[in-house]
Structures are given as C-alpha cells and as structure tokens.
Amino acid sequence: MQRKDLKPPVGTTDVNQPASRSNQARWHLAAAAAGWLVPGLGHWFIGQRQRAVILAVTIGSLWVTGLVIGGLDVCDRQRNSAWFILQSLVAPSLAVDWYQSQLLPIKSDEDWSSTELVRSAMEPSFGHPNEQGILYTALAGLLNLLVILDVIYRDGEPGPTHPVPAGHATD
C-alpha cells in the first residue's frame, strides 16, 4: 500500500503523474548541426561549456594530428572514398578535401607515365604516415558522430548530475 503524502526523491518523477512539458526530452537539431561544423559547438549552444571545450580539444587535436602525420591528402574523397565518409563527420574535412583538390593537378594514369616533371603546391603522402593520418581523421569523425548523437538527445539545462542533500548549496 502506497502512502499519498510521500514525495518521490529529488531528481525523479512520479510514475503516476504525467510528465510535464519541462521534463520531456527535446531534440537539439540546430546544436547537432553546429557540432558537425565544429566539434563541441553543439554542447556550447545548449549551455554545457566545459563539456564543449573538452570535446573540441579532444576531437580537434585528434583530427589535426591526423593531418600533421599524413598531410592534407588524407582527406581525399577520390582516392579514399570509404574513409572519407567517416572523415566527413567532421565538417572541416570537406574544406580540406576541396583545398587539396585545388592544389594537386588531376592526372589520369597516362599522365603519370610521362617523363615531364609536374610541380604542385603539395606533394601527396604515401605509405604508413598516410594510412595513420587517415585513421586518425576517421576516428575523429566517428567520435564526432557520438558527440552529435549526444547533443541531439541531451538535456540542455546545466546542473548537478547527482542528488544534492537538503541544506547544501549547488554550483
């Protein structure tokens, strides 16, 4: 038998009461789009500044490290189309792909057989550094996908994640 004068613990809802409008989850699609453009920006928009900075530094440094290891041509939708799908989960990869495609001349197989030396603004990377750079940038894209999904479903109100005892001040 349940007593009617007892209230549910702080931070929980009574299962017998309908959920109020403020307790219902909202989808943050604009914040998710911002998080795709710049990792962590979506969390910044919903008010979770510390989490946003941590995500931006973590994912951004992983992505930049991939570019430093493998060069700009790790984001190449023509040579690495399957990997580029994962890399494009971080929007700056699209800009890098466009930029490096403007720097390198497009050559067919016949063009490579000529003895003419072609100088370009960027030399492509090959071998293990290229593969490692591709992996780093693809992993940054996968992590950003998790961050985007997190910001879509996350409650935007910052606050403690644990119950605060009565009489104690909150942050």
Q: What distance in Å separates the CA atoms of residue 123 and residue 130, rounded to the nearest whole number? A: 12
* Residue range 14-36: mean pLDDT, rounded: 69
| pLDDT of amino acid 78 | 86
Residue 158 lies in a domain: no
Number of domains in the chain: 1
Please, are residues 45 and 31 in contact by the beta-carbon 8 Å criterion?
yes
If one counts every other C-beta atom within 10 angstroms of the C-beta of residue 82, the result is 8
What are the tens digits of pLDDT across the range 116-169? Answer: 544 455 566 667 888 999 999 999 999 999 999 999 988 755 554 555 566 666
| pLDDT of amino acid 145 | 96
Residue 19 lies in a domain: no
Instruction: Identify the H or E element spanning 61.
Output: helix 49-70
Residue 6 lies in a domain: no
The CB-side HSE value for 85 (13 A sphere, CA atoms) comes to 2
Q: What is the dihedral of CA 22, 23, 27, 33, to 10 degrees?
A: 70
What are the tens digits of pLDDT across the range 52-95? Answer: 999 999 999 999 999 999 888 888 888 888 999 999 999 999 99
Give the sign of the dihedral formed by CA 7, CA 13, CA 15, CA 17: positive
Classify the phi-psi angles of 128: left when phi > 0, otherwise alpha if psi is within -120 to 50, otherwise beta: alpha
Residue 3 lies in a domain: no
Residue 58 lies in a domain: yes
Residue 160 lies in a domain: no
Nearest to 48 by CA among 65, 70, 31: 31
What are the tens digits of pLDDT across the range 40-52? Answer: 999 999 999 999 9
Please, are residues 83 and 134 in contact by the beta-carbon 8 Å criterion?
yes
Please, are residues 101 and 92 in contact by the beta-carbon 8 Å criterion?
no
Give the sign of the dihedral formed by CA 160, CA 165, CA 170, CA 171: negative
Residue that has been written with the tokens 């063009």 in this structure = 111
- The parent domain of residue 96 ranges over 29-105+124-153
Residue 18 lies in a domain: no
Residue 33 lies in a domain: yes
